[in-house]
Amino acid sequence: GQNIDQPTEMTATEGAIVQINCTYQTSGFNGLFWYQQHAGEAPTFLSYNVLDGLEEKGRFSSFLSRSKGYSYLLLKELQMKDSASYLCAATDSNYQLIWGAGTKLIIKP
């Protein structure tokens, strides 16, 4: 079956760095997305990786290893507004998005 695993909840301190991991098992693979979702709001796009390696975009970076079925989202210089859920989603051979349950990130002062 198809499956996405990511931690349920993480806590980090303002100004620090946090890495949110995601492992996936899909029938075929056509890329992996990370979305941010604040409570009561729709998800917003953060990143898309289809090739191995690290993609950096400001304070956020996303890494992909296709051979390991693994990705992570790295958040630097954490701010209180980064408190949100972070959703990992992989696209399968039919380009369907398979969603993880999300990681709730709590930022403490």
Classify 80 as helix, strand or coil: helix
Give the total of residues touching other proteins (CB under 8 A). 19
* Alpha carbons 69 and 84: distance in angstroms, whole number: 24
Per CB under 8 A, the list member of 73, 84, 90, 100 interacting with other proteins is 100
Per CB under 8 A, the list member of 1, 51, 95, 109 interacting with other proteins is 95
> Phi and psi dihedrals of 6, rounded to 5?
-150, 155
Closest distance to other proteins from the beta carbon of 38 (Å): 11
87 binds other proteins (CB under 8 A): yes
* Alpha carbons 63 and 34: distance in angstroms, whole number: 10
Contact of 98 with 32, CB cutoff 8 Å: no
In the window 27-66, what residues touch other proteins (CB under 8 A)?
30-31, 35, 40-45, 48
Contact of 3 with 99, CB cutoff 8 Å: no
Closest to other proteins by CB, 33 vs 72, is 33
Closest to other proteins by CB, 40 vs 109, is 40
* Alpha carbons 107 and 11: distance in angstroms, whole number: 6
Q: Name the site residues for other proteins (rule: CB under 8 A).
A: 30-31, 35, 40-45, 48, 87, 91, 95-97, 99-102
